[in-house]
Amino acid sequence: MRIGVLALQGAFREHLDVFRGLGLEAVPVRLPSDLAGLSALVLPGGESTTMRRLIERWGLRGPILEMARQGAPIFGTCAGMILLSKEIVDGEEPVLPLLDVSVKRNAFGRQLDSFEADLQVPMLGDAPVHGVFIRAPVIDRVGDGVDVLARLDDGRVVAVRERNVVATAFHPELAGEARFHRVIATMAGAFDEPGEGAGRRRHPTRRAAAR
């Protein structure tokens, strides 16, 4: 399998390092043609407005949405979670509205207000997940089809999953935490399995590349 990490801006190198440390092939994605043959895609943390503009400029929005529609796993961290949300509290138009959540940007304040926290994520086992929150968003509303994966001690939602899309308000990759990446790899393996409606035989980006 090959896992792509959107490499337009932000903390994409750390995600590449985590996947490669797991013995997986991980590649940067900058153009629609880079999506060809991928089994999963990561949207990293960074500056969401800049990433939004670059996604539109390089024609990535449509191919990413089609990739998700076909069932490929998509993982967003921090700014990546904002990009995946159907609603952004300040009224900014959604970019890749794949998660039925409402998200508030910079919910914890400025860069100086960044912090780290240990989180219980039952999906990942009993050991807490160490998350790094840097100008992090928070989820204000969760749709009926969305599973909450983690909350802060005050109850605020900071990790969710809806079908093949997973998102965290924090950076697991900056804390040396690989369990979310293992989950994405497992989902990618299932996406690659041959069978009706699944696998690379119907991968949309292969058609796009051929055109």
Q: Looking at the annotation, which residues are catalytic?
A: 78, 171, 173
Stated length of the chain: 211
Other CB atoms closer than 10 Å to residue 140's CB: what's the count?
15
Which residues 6+ apart lie within 8 Å of 67 measured at CB? 35, 38, 41, 74, 203, 204, 205
Q: Which amino acid is at 68?
A: A
The CB-side HSE value for 138 (13 A sphere, CA atoms) comes to 12
DSSP H or E segment with residue 62: helix 61-69
Query: In this structure, are residues 158 and 139 in contact, taking their beta carbons and an 8 Å threshold?
Result: yes
